Amino acid sequence: MTTRKYEQRLRAESAEETRRRILDAVCRRLRSAPAEPVSIDEIARMARVSRSTVYLVFGSRAGLFCALGADLLERGGFVSMLAAASHPDAREALRGGIRGVAGMYAAHRDVLRALNSMAQLDADAVGGAVQKMDEGCAGGMAAQAQRLAEQGILRADVTVDAATDLLCLLTSFDSFDLLHTGRGLPAAAAAELLITAAERSLCQPFRAPADESADSQDISGDTGDPSWTAAASRSCGL
């Protein structure tokens, strides 16, 4: 490696380290005093950089908070969530997407709570970061609702627009946090409850292939156990 390339690599690593320190400082500040306004001077002090460095790296206050939002999503498992939500079967994609969203919320719950609370009082206080995250989520839910309709899974009495609205509600941070923090449910349990609500509200009842249905009827008849049918229904989200 030439001296010049080595120096460029060191500069790049130093710049990334500085960026990381600033973002980590914002997270610490939001956790420690979520109800108080965030000062760029304070963030710079916590990150051991100058105020001008914060603006040099992120461009503006809005740029800082938007970068924070993207960083939270990435570290919370955004790529894994996208993979789950891209399942060929729209019903499985719906389930995987909601589980992925819940996982992201759980990973950074305290910071996201502070951001959402601040945004409700003054969207400019967090540079529109929450609005941008919500807009991205809404786009994903619209695509998910469209896939449900295209695959014949969406209930006939539910429009794609109505499905999008409901999915935005069920995948919002506030809905998750009401169950997770407000009701004390583990993140995984909260996700499964949101999935159940989504499927029962939006999806046609699950229908097994004809041969499997026949086998299921034979098994049900042999056992005479109504709990088997109830358990099967719960597993299908009915």
pLDDT digits (tens, 9 = 90+) for 44-100: 999 999 999 999 999 999 899 999 988 998 898 888 888 999 999 999 999 999 999
Nearest residue to 24 via CA among 59, 62, 63, 75: 75
The per-residue pLDDT of the chain, averaged, comes to 84
Contacts of 28 (CB under 8 A, 6+ apart): 46
Q: How far is the C-alpha of 118 from the C-alpha of 164, rounded, in Å?
A: 25
CATH for the stretch 73-202: 1.10.357
Token code pair at residue 228? 């088997």
Dihedrals φ, ψ of 122, to 5°?
-160, 105
DSSP string for 97-118:
HHHHHHHHHHHTHHHHHHHHHH
Helix (H) or strand (E) holding 96: helix 90-107
In the chain, ranges of CATH 1.10.357 domains: 73-202
Tokens of 208: 């097994």
- 9-59, CATH topology level: Arc Repressor Mutant, subunit A (1.10.10)
Binned at pLDDT 50, 70 and 90, residue 4 comes out as low
- What's the Cα-to-Cα distance from 11 to each of 16, 17, 126, 150, rounded to whole Å? 9, 10, 29, 50
Kindly report whether the global pTM for this prediction surpasses the value 0.85.
no
What would the pLDDT profile of 105-124 be if each residue is shown by its tens digit? 999 999 999 998 888 877 77
Domain with CATH 1.10.10 in the chain: 9-59
